[in-house]
Amino acid sequence: MAKTLDYVCTACGARHAKWSGRCDSCGAWNTIQEEKPLSSGPGGKTLGAVRGTPLTLVDLATAETPPPRTSSGIAELDRVLGGGLVPASAILVGGDPGIGKSTLLLQAAASFARGGLDAVYVSGEEASAQVRMRAQRLGLADAPVRLAAATNLRDILTTLEAEKPDIAIIDSVQTMWSDQVDSAPGSVAQVRAAAHELTSFAKRNNMAVVLVGHVTKEGQIAGPRVVEHMVDTVLYFEGERGHQFRILRAVKNRFGPADEIGVFEMTGGGLSEVANPSALFLSDREDPAPGSAVFAGIEGTRPVLCEFQALVAPTPHSQPRRSTVGWDGGRLAMILAVLESRCGIPFAGLDVYLNVAGGLRISDPAADLAVACALLSAREDAALPPQAVVFGEISLSGALRPAGQTENRLKEAQKLGFTSAIVPARSKTGPGTDLTLRPHADLAALVGDMFGA
Ligand code: TYD
Ligand code: MG
């Protein structure tokens, strides 16, 4: 008989046959816990059909046309959802505690309710009176949202069954507990059971459900990753402490593009939408200084300009420091290696710090060239040409590869007053942009042209 896997990582949900200090799957320490099996199997009916009767795609297509999406009334949220809320879908909103998840979802619930949907907001963390106070502070007290403070899954499902709302917000899934499961609230088994019950209820009853999940640092409480596979859409709410703006990022979406972002600003009156993020991210930029490069990136479907800042300084340590904020450390090591071995520019004995200004996190591969330019500019103590944007991918050979959506990047740069672009050779540009292009076939040629090395 196959061995049962009784240990589970509370950070990523991976199952293990035995306990260990570190999860092989996600690398987190001290997150593996023993899991008790469910005392009863998962119940529920099958979707839209008599149990066990398969349907053909053609039958399904004639039976139902795709229902229209409902706008949340918050354009940045609609964008991340792929154009609005899909009925009967399950959405997970993850994020650090205090980042603004409850604020965003209360605003969304109010907006849906004002738009005519029947919205229920279930808080397992705050009393109804506290939620109402928050709503008052946000100017939403008159919105017809129904509030409930509950944590027992059976109570919640009974209420939802009776009320039949169009959308239910569960804040947070980690506070919910099922009396069917023999473990403490917040454990992987409880969080999974709650997410499973709520999403299958939502599918059966044509209700959309939004699950809030706190990203947890310690291993006692399961994180939102353990339920990612059960829902249709996974959104993460990100932001740096000390910065006002917040980014809602779609990391999985069965009904729209993943990687789409929505940008918000946390104000005294709640979250407000930021329609032009490039202007915001570049707002406190000073005159071009050595070490600074403006990257014309694409986040999801929209171009976003931001600034990479690099600092290169002699190290007092035997092992030089490599530190990045907002970008992948492994990718930085790769760019440094390419600069050393393909362009003959050593970084040994130098500490390297790289930062994306404003707290944005960049994953667009076209940022390679902007990072290389910021590093070179810092190392050579020479500013890049003023009013220039940079983008392009760097391969291990040092060759520069054109980035996708070059035209959109250039248009956004032009809109914000930039006049030239440092790009890979053969970048495809369309009509309609007057930026001066500075194309280079490989990194060594760029170094020769711009830094005279
Ligand atoms: P909250 O939505 O409670 O975070 P989460 O649900 O993700 O834990 O947001 C809490 C923070 O947001 C808190 O530090 C205060 C701040 N905030 C504002 O700045 N303005 C506001 O209008 C509100 C409601 C909260
Ligand atoms: Mg909250």
* Mean pLDDT per 10-residue segment, the chain (453 residues): 70 86 88 68 47 70 67 93 92 93 95 93 92 92 92 93 94 91 88 94 95 84 89 91 86 88 91 88 78 93 92 93 94 96 94 90 94 96 92 96 93 92 89 87 93 72
List, in order, residues 6 or more apart from 398 with CB less than 8 Å away. 338, 342, 343, 442, 443, 444
Hey, what are 327's tokens? 């970008």
Q: Which of 93, 99, 102, 103 to mutate to test the pocket of ligand 1 (most atoms within 8 A of CB)?
A: 103
Q: Decide whether any atom of ligand 1 lies within 6 Å of the 246 Cβ.
A: no
Residue closest by Cα to atom 14 of ligand 1: 98
CA dihedral 46, 52, 56, 62 (to 10 degrees): -50
Ligand nearest to the CA of 171: 2
Question: For residue 45, what pLDDT is reported?
Answer: 45
* Residue 37 is labelled as binding a ligand: no
269 annotated as belonging to a binding site for a ligand: no
Question: CA–CA separation, 117 vs 110, rounded Å?
Answer: 9
**Secondary-structure percent of the chain, ordered helix, strand, coil, rounded to 5:** 30, 25, 45
* Closest to 234 in 3D by CA, of 53, 94, 329: 94
List the structure tokens of 259.
């990687």
- Residue 413 and residue 387 in contact, taking contact as beta carbons nearer than 8 Å: no
CB of 174 within 6 A of ligand 1: the answer is no
The CA 140 to ligand 1 mean position distance, Å, reads: 15
H or E, element range at 234: strand 233-238
Q: What is the pLDDT of residue 38?
A: 52
Beta strands in 357-430 (DSSP E): 388-390, 393-394, 400-401, 420-424
> What amino acid is encoded at 446 in this protein?
L
Q: Say if strands 119-123 and 167-171 run parallel, antiparallel, or are unpaired.
A: parallel
Cis check: omega of the bond before 25, within 30 degrees of 0: no
Q: Determine whether the shortest distance from the Cβ of 270 to ligand 1 is under 6 A.
A: yes
Q: Per the annotation, does 298 bind a ligand?
A: no
**Which residues, other chains included, contact 420 with Cβ-Cβ below 8 Å and sequence gap of 6+?**
385, 387, 388, 389, 435, 436, 437, 438
199 lines ligand 1 (CB under 6 A): no
Cα of 99 from ligand 1 centre, angstroms: 6
Is the CB of 215 within 6 Å of ligand 1? no
| DSSP string computed for 254-284 | TTS-TT-EEEEEEETTEEEE-S-HHHHHTTT
What pLDDT, on the 0 to 100 scale, is given for residue 66?
61
Ligand 1: which atom is nearest the Cα of residue 266? Answer: 19
Is 269 near ligand 1, meaning CB less than 6 Å away? yes
What was the pLDDT predicted at 453? 58
- Say if CB 110 and CB 142 are below 8 A apart: no
ipTM of the complex: 0.96
Q: Which residues of 330-365 are buried (b: 16+ CB within 10 A; e: fewer)?
A: ebbebbbebbeebbebebeebbbbbbbbbbbbbebb
Per-residue pLDDT at 200: 94
Single out the residue of 438, 337, 340, 339 nearest to residue 392, CA to CA.
Answer: 438
How confident is the model at residue 67, as a pLDDT? Answer: 61
The whole-angstrom separation of Cα 120 and Cα 102 is 13
C-beta of 98 in contact with ligand 1 (< 6 A): yes
Q: What is the pLDDT of residue 41?
A: 44
pLDDT at res. 360: 85
In angstroms, what is the span from residue 120 Cα to ligand 1's centroid? Answer: 20
N residues, the chain: 453
Distance CA 355, CA 327 (A): 7
pLDDT at 11: 85
This prediction's pTM: 0.82
Q: Which atom of ligand 1 is nearest to the CA of 97?
A: 8
- Ordered structural domains, the chain, with CATH: 1-35 (no CATH), 70-274 (3.40.50.300), 280-451 (3.30.230.10)
The burial class, CB within 10 Å (0-12 / 13-18 / 19+), for 6 is: middle
Q: Which pLDDT does position 236 carry in this prediction? A: 94
**Which ranges constitute the DSSP H helices of 321-396?**
329-343, 367-380
Which one, of 383, 371, 360, 362, lies nearest residue 282 by Cα? 360
